[in-house]
Structure 1
Amino acid sequence: MKHAITRIRHALHWRDLTVRRTEHVTPRMLRLTLAGEALAGFTSLSPDDHIKVFAPGEAGQTERRDYTPRRFDAAAGELVVDFALHEAGPVTAWARGAKPGDAAQIGGPRGSAVVPHDFDWWLLVGDETALPAIGRRIEELPAGTPVTSLVAVTGPEEEQRFETAAAHQAVWVHRPPAQAADPAPLLAALETFVPPAGEGFIWIAAEAGVARALRRHVLEVMRHPAPWLKAAGYWVQGQADASEKLEA
């Protein structure tokens, strides 16, 4: 069926890996390349899949947070994970201090929601936490597919470049970290977006209140069909390890 989203469940696996490389994509975006034989059979079918990354917490407890599998190279046995350094949680702290040879543990993904590539155009909206999923989507879209990204970051030094065969237009919205939970900057950018002809898919991920406001605009002002929209709160202001699914 045209435009049908396919939901696929995966067997849940815990994988003991090793940090192979670390690099800063931007000053506030850290990339870890993880490797190990335990990656055999790893499957991630959608750019917004989530894995659990585990790290030591207080009093010997293990902490876990959701992250996007940014890129998986089965031949090289490598999994790339990007960490937005805007937060100061235990997993982010672990990532900051990680060095080649360190142990790493992940779990999942538990499932994938696969959006078909039969849409005429794409709009991807989000903040720093959404950039791994946005970047992967842009890179994986078919050649010539029109895709616009509206992304809020702290400044020009946080802008990223993506290698893609898609027809990508990037719109960067600069705002200070203190405004990360304010929907106004991204709403202003969204209001200027003129959808191309045809049927498009819109994807949104940011702080929960921001994502909710953007979703409302897409549905009530743009009158975009709800089945062709996916929105999520990747984080919640004032709450640790919190997220929200925003559905009709």
Structure 2
Amino acid sequence: MPQADHQDTLVRRVRHELKLRDLTVARIEPLGPGFVAITFTGETLADFTSLSFDDHVKFIVADDDGAQVRRDYTPRRFNREARELVIEFALHGDGKASNWARRAVVGQQAAVAGPRGSMILPMELDWHLLAGDATALPAIARRLEELPAGSRAIVLAHAQAEDRRAFAGADVRWFDTQDALVDALQALTVPEGRGFAWGGGEASLMARVRQVLNGKGVPREATRVSAYWKRGVAEHHEKLE
């Protein structure tokens, strides 16, 4: 059963029992040249829980040499009745998880562990700011889908043209470079009222996003910035304080 953790002004944190779940690939859906959505199924999902767009599971497969590959991914969608979990994989570069996803076939085996916990935000905020690179797009898409109609959401995203997707009901601004995203964030006037700023992506970019938000005086309890990956490091995920 989920257990409530500490609570601050905006965020309610819930911890989950950590379990390893063996899964099978049920469907594969290309999302353009840069992403693929893979649906996994298994009875082990009967008690799976993902309460937040910011959740991440540890995805576990074996590489060509039989060594274990472990990477963090956002649970994009989950249907408990159907026992189905959807994860979107970026296909850029020559990463081991990306290579696995690129070659995946229906019936193939994999496993996930987690999520360890969830950061639950109120839906009814005055504004939502979401910033990130292409690796953050699944989390951003999930958050926008879950928000009530009419919510004010601002998306600042660094992604190449082939990775960009339609986000309905949001003020979406795409950028070709990290510098352009940071400049736009620096120039942005933080909306009035009660809101939350979230960031996810490459470590150096997220460090700059964190610095800008600090400079704008956005309260720490109203932000979360996470480094999803780091250049030259195979497995990296950290919250930037």
2:164 aligned partner: 159
Match of 2:234 among 237, 240, 244: 240
2:3 aligned partner: none
Secondary structure of 1:19's partner?
strand
Secondary structure of 2:200's partner?
strand
Moved more, 195-204 or 184-193: 184-193
Structure 2 unpaired stretches of 5+: 1-6
1:204 counterpart letter in structure 2: G
- RMSD, matched Cα: 1.7
CA contact (8 A) 2:57 2:114 kept: yes
1:110 shift after superposition: 1.1
1:214 equivalent in alignment to 2:209: yes
2:30 aligned partner: 24
Match of 2:84 among 58, 64, 78: 78
1:121 shift after superposition: 0.4
Task: Return the alpha-carbon distance in structure 1 between the equivalents of residues 47 and 117 of structure 2.
Answer: 14
Scaled by the length of structure 1, the TM-score of the pair is: 0.89
Match of 2:175 among 166, 173, 176: 173
Structure 1 unpaired stretches of 5+: 176-182
Counterparts of 1:121-132 in structure 2, within 5 Å, are 121-132=127-138
Match of 1:136 among 127, 135, 142: 142
1:189 shift after superposition: 2.2
1:73-96 superposed Cα distances (whole Å, 9 cap, x missing partner): 122221110011224222221111
CA contact (8 A) 1:26 1:159 kept: no
Task: Return the alpha-carbon distance in structure 2 between the equivalents of residues 2 and 225 of structure 1.
Answer: 11
1:216 shift after superposition: 0.6
* Distance change >3 Å, CA 219–CA 235, structure 1 → 2: same
Match of 1:194 among 189, 194, 197: 189
2:4 aligned partner: none
1:228 aligned partner: 222
Moved more, 183-192 or 211-220: 183-192
Scaled by the length of structure 2, the TM-score of the pair is: 0.91
1:118 shift after superposition: 3.7
Task: Return the alpha-carbon distance in structure 1 between the equivalents of residues 70 and 44 of structure 2.
Answer: 19
1:145 counterpart letter in structure 2: S
Secondary structure of 1:33's partner?
strand
1:7-47 superposed Cα distances (whole Å, 9 cap, x missing partner): 11111111111111111212101110111211101100110
1:200 shift after superposition: 1.5
Task: Return the alpha-carbon distance in structure 2 between the equivalents of residues 200 and 11 of structure 1.
Answer: 30
Fraction of identical pairs, as percent: 43
